[in-house]
Amino acid sequence: MHLSRLAERHPDKPAVVDAATGAVTTYRELDEASLRLARLLADRGLEPGDHAALLMDNGPGYFAAAWACQRSGLYWTPVNHHLTVDEAAYIVRDCGARALIASGTLGGAAWEVAESAPDVRTRLIDGSGDPPEGFENLAEAAARFSGGGREEEREGYYMFYSSGTTGRPKGILPDLAGDPFGTGLKLDHTLPLLFGFGPDTVYLCPAPLYHAAPTGWTLGTMRGGGTVVLMDRFDPERALAHIERYKVTHVQFVPTMLVRMLKLPEETRARYDLSSLRTVVHAAAPCPVEVKRRVIEWFGPVVYEYYSGSEGNCFFLIDSRDWLAHPGSVGRPVLGTTHILDDDGRELPTGEVGTVWFEGTAAFSYHNDPAKTAGAFNDRGWSTLGDLGRLDAEGRLYLVDRRADLILSGGVNIYPQEIENVLAVHPAVADAAVVGAPDPDMGQRVRAVVEPADPAAAGPGLADELIAYCRAHLAGYKCPREIEFTAELPRTPTGKLLRRLLTAPAAGERR
């Protein structure tokens, strides 16, 4: 669990492999780089409990920065570099960062962010070339410090911000216990126990590191002495090629990635040897039942799904065998007790849909937002992520949708996810989203926004075909009344739909 101990035992073992180039960062190199940076941060006055922000792309330098913060007892926040400068600066200010570490490729944005965050006193840029005004070259500044062991190192903690799908993101403040470095975080102990992570693990990371699961699972891989194969961005065929080339044993995808891989030509998918895979995990968003079934047929019974949140107040898990017997379920809770409540807080019977609440799990708070924190808990101390679902007689959870996404049409609840799941498997659809549109008679009507597989096919004919397809698979009142086509749906790189950007009709071709 201690990076320096791993470096002593396996100095030349790859800790990180750049998937595109094959370039290797060994455990010794990673340990020494993170130690030099940790000493630099301490020299600049950062102490355990202080905060640092990382504005970095997917590269080996990210891990040196992350481990330096982690072994310094800091809170540290990875910042989405696809945000606007204003959005990124808000996060850096809100988290109270005293240091900003940025990739050289993001130097211009980093300078603007730092100028908008007055608490940032230490500004470091990871890359060659002249640093932006007020920044220091990280390698040059850190080279003055020793890469040898440090005494009294303490565990820090990553503090992630919600993806902001419905407004300004909020930081999820973890408990900084101050344990000795090497103790590990909760996830570091969960990965070996539930998913078989260990020294022989080769974990493919196809997602941006500024999100919770990619960072948590890559650092967890290294805690166990495994190797991370890092993609700079997801590409469906390249992901398969990397699995074959690097003999990947573990990988985590989001459902949109699975859909895109399944829509590769059969001869393309068959070209790659995926026999090294022992564990394929998916999470972060609901997966259509038919997609999941096809994925299990393709990869074999090595597919696992979990449902959780960065808040850490729940964790559900289901394997392939149990899912095939109970399609659509996200499994049973690994910790705590689950309750389904109506809007008045009354417990609902088995099989009825309501808000999902969790009892006996970890408390959490939203940084600088006591009102949102209070709204996530009820008078019994149970917490919620705002999702809707139902339980079966054996305690398995079936998620239905987000409460905020619910469409109320003529007094009837309509769940967009159910409709999106139907559209997603149509061969003419690359991606789909469903939202409620204002309706003078019904209150709301169902509106679908579709990214066609072939942009040239967009038009009234395809719209009619998709509506007919929905009518063949869904009750009539659930089917879209209008379909709009778009070149690309607004999703985060982890696949979460930015539904708020679709609530107003956009320019595009409609039926």
d(CA 361, CA 296): 31
* Predicted local distance difference test score (pLDDT) of residue 256: 84
- Tell me 57's DSSP state: -
Q: Residues 371, 498: one domain?
A: no
* Short-list 23, 28, 341, 313, CA closest to 175: 313
**DSSP letters along 428-480, please?**
TEEEEEEEEEEETTTEEEEEEEEEESSGGG-SHHHHHHHHHHHHHHS-GGGS-
Element holding 267 (H helix, E strand): helix 266-269
d(CA 135, CA 440): 56
Q: Is residue 496 part of a domain?
A: yes
Q: Residues 416, 502: one domain?
A: yes
* Predicted local distance difference test score (pLDDT) of residue 507: 37
* Predicted local distance difference test score (pLDDT) of residue 167: 61
Please identify, among 360, 375, 405, the residue that sits at the C-terminal boundary of a domain: 405
Q: Phi, psi (5° rounding) for residue 93? A: -70, -45
Q: Which two tokens stand for residue 294?
A: 């096809």
Provide the residue range defining the domain that includes 64. Answer: 3-182
Q: Residues 401, 413: one domain?
A: no
Domain count, the chain: 3
CA distances from 455 to 238, 346, 419 (A): 23, 48, 21
Q: Residues 398, 499: one domain?
A: no
Q: Residues 420, 373: one domain?
A: no
The CATH number of whichever domain residue 130 belongs to comes to: 3.40.50.12780
Q: Residues 24, 142: one domain?
A: yes
Q: List the helix and strand counts (H, then E) for the chain.
A: 16, 27
Q: Is residue 238 part of a domain?
A: no
Q: How big is the chain, counted in residues?
A: 511
Q: Is residue 216 part of a domain?
A: no
Q: Is residue 98 part of a domain?
A: yes
Q: Phi, psi (5° rounding) for residue 102? A: -130, 155
Exposed / middle / buried, residue 347 (Cβ in 10 Å: 0-12, 13-18, 19+): exposed
Q: Residues 29, 177: one domain?
A: yes
**DSSP letters along 328-356, please?**
T--BEESSSEEEEE-TTSPBPPTT--EEE
Please identify, among 182, 207, 230, the residue that sits at the C-terminal boundary of a domain: 182
d(CA 70, CA 68): 5
Q: Residues 351, 495: one domain?
A: no
d(CA 21, CA 11): 21
Q: Among all chains, which residue has been given the structure tokens 């060659």?
A: 128
Q: Residues 418, 393: one domain?
A: no
* Short-list 416, 400, 401, CA closest to 351: 400
The CATH number of whichever domain residue 381 belongs to comes to: 2.30.38.10
Q: Residues 127, 109: one domain?
A: yes
Q: Is residue 287 part of a domain?
A: no
Q: Is residue 174 part of a domain?
A: yes
The CATH number of whichever domain residue 454 belongs to comes to: 3.30.300.30
Q: Residues 19, 161: one domain?
A: yes
Q: Is residue 320 part of a domain?
A: no
* Predicted local distance difference test score (pLDDT) of residue 506: 43
d(CA 147, CA 359): 45
Q: Residues 51, 103: one domain?
A: yes
Q: Which two tokens stand for residue 56?
A: 């970095």
Kindly list the strands in the beta sheet with 122-126, ordered across the sheet, starting from the edge strand earlier in the chain: 136-137, 122-126, 99-103, 51-55, 75-78, 157-158
Residues 6+ apart with CB under 8 A from 296: 303, 320, 323, 324
* Predicted local distance difference test score (pLDDT) of residue 106: 94
Largest CA distance in the chain: 71
Contact 438, 303 (CB under 8 A): no
pLDDT tens, position by position, 116-141: 998 999 999 998 888 999 999 999 99
- Full pLDDT tens readout for the chain, 511 residues: 799 999 999 999 999 999 989 999 999 999 999 999 999 999 999 999 999 999 999 999 999 999 999 999 999 999 999 888 988 999 999 999 999 999 999 999 999 999 999 899 999 999 888 899 999 999 999 999 999 989 899 999 999 997 654 567 889 999 899 999 999 999 999 999 999 999 999 999 999 999 899 999 999 999 999 999 999 999 999 999 999 999 999 999 988 899 899 999 999 999 999 999 999 999 987 788 999 999 999 999 999 999 998 899 999 999 999 999 999 999 999 989 999 999 999 999 999 999 999 999 988 999 999 998 999 999 999 999 989 999 999 999 999 887 778 888 876 778 888 899 999 999 999 999 999 888 877 778 999 999 999 999 999 999 999 999 999 998 888 999 999 999 999 887 767 788 878 865 443 455 5
Q: Is residue 106 part of a domain?
A: yes
Please identify, among 165, 182, 199, the residue that sits at the C-terminal boundary of a domain: 182
pLDDT tens, position by position, 277-323: 999 999 987 788 999 999 999 999 999 999 998 899 999 999 999 99
Q: What is the dihedral of CA 416, 314, 309, 422, to 10 degrees?
A: -20
Model pTM score? 0.86
